[in-house]
Structure 1
Amino acid sequence: MQINLTGHHIEITQSLRNYVEEKFTKLERHFDQINNVHVVLNVEKMQQKVEAKLRLRGGEVFATSEHSDMYAAIDSLIDKLDRQVIKHKEKLTKH
C-alpha cells in the first residue's frame, strides 16, 4: 500500500506522517487489496480537515472529516473509511 500525503497550509511533520501510516495499517488488516491512498491534510481557520481517497480492487472509496484537533480528525476519518472498506469487501464477496 502506497500512501501519498499532502498538506495545505500545514507542514507535515514526521510524527503526523507516522500517525497516518500507523492508522492506515488498521484498514489493511480488513482489506489487503488497497493499492493507493491519497491523504490531504488541510487547515482552514481553526478547523482541521482531512480527506482521503483509497483505490481498491474493484473501485474507489472517499471520505472526509473535520475537527479542531488534527489527530482526532484522522481518527474519525479512519473510522469512516473502515466502515466503507468493510462494506466494499462484503459487496465483492457476495458477487
Structure 2
Amino acid sequence: MKINASGHNIEINSTIREDLEEKFEKISNRYSSLISLDVTITKEHGEYEVELRTNYEGAAIAASGKDKVMYPAINKAAKKLEAGLAHRKGILKDNLHEKPVVTAPEIAYEKIQEMKLP
C-alpha cells in the first residue's frame, strides 16, 4: 500500500514516514485491496490533527484523530480507519448472503380464513 503523507505547519520527515508505514502495515495486510492511503497531519494551536483517506471496494473511507501529541493522534485516526474498513467489509459480505423469503403472513391469513370462528 502506498502512503501519501503531507503536513500543514509540520515537516514530514523520514521518522514520521517510517512510523506511518509500520502503523498501517497491519491494516494493509488485512485489507489487501487497499492501494493507497492519504495522510494529512496538521498542527494548529498546539494540537495535532491527523486525517486519513482511502478507497476500499468502491467506497471512500475517511477518519481523523486529534491530540496534543502527534503519535496518539495517529493511533486514534488509525483505530477509526480500521473500524470504517471493517464496517465496509461487513456490508460487502452481508450483500453476498441470500435473504430469506418470508411467507408466514400469507399462510397465517389463509388458515384464519379457513377457521370457523363464532
Confirm or deny a common fold (TM above 0.5).
yes
Q: Tell me the distance in 2 between the aligned counterparts of 1:49 and 1:7.
A: 10
The alignment's C-alpha RMSD in Å is 1.0
In the TM superposition, 1:12-51 aligns within 5 A as 12-51=12-51
Q: Tell me the distance in 1 between the aligned counterparts of 2:71 and 2:93.
A: 33
Stretches of 4+ aligned residues off by more than 4 angstroms: none
Q: Which runs of 5+ in 2 are unaligned?
A: 96-118
Q: Tell me the distance in 1 between the aligned counterparts of 2:26 and 2:14.
A: 19
Q: Tell me the distance in 1 between the aligned counterparts of 2:59 and 2:38.
A: 14
Structure holding more strand per residue: 1
Measured after TM superposition, the shift of residue 56 of structure 1 is: 1.4
One-letter identity of the residue aligned with 2:18: N
Measured after TM superposition, the shift of residue 36 of structure 1 is: 1.7
- State the match for 1:61 in structure 2: 61
Higher relative contact order (CA 8 A, sep 6+): 1
One-letter identity of the residue aligned with 2:78: I
* TM-score, normalised relative to structure 2: 0.77
Give the paired residue count: 95
Alignment identity in percent?
A: 29
Q: Which runs of 5+ in 1 are unaligned?
A: none
Measured after TM superposition, the shift of residue 31 of structure 1 is: 1.4
Measured after TM superposition, the shift of residue 58 of structure 1 is: 1.9
Residues 36 and 56 in structure 1, CA contact (< 8 A), matched pair in contact too:
no
- State the match for 2:81 in structure 1: 81
One-letter identity of the residue aligned with 1:28: S
One-letter identity of the residue aligned with 1:19: D
Q: Tell me the distance in 2 between the aligned counterparts of 1:30 and 1:91.
A: 16
Q: Tell me the distance in 1 between the aligned counterparts of 2:94 and 2:2.
A: 27
- State the match for 1:94 in structure 2: 94
One-letter identity of the residue aligned with 2:50: V
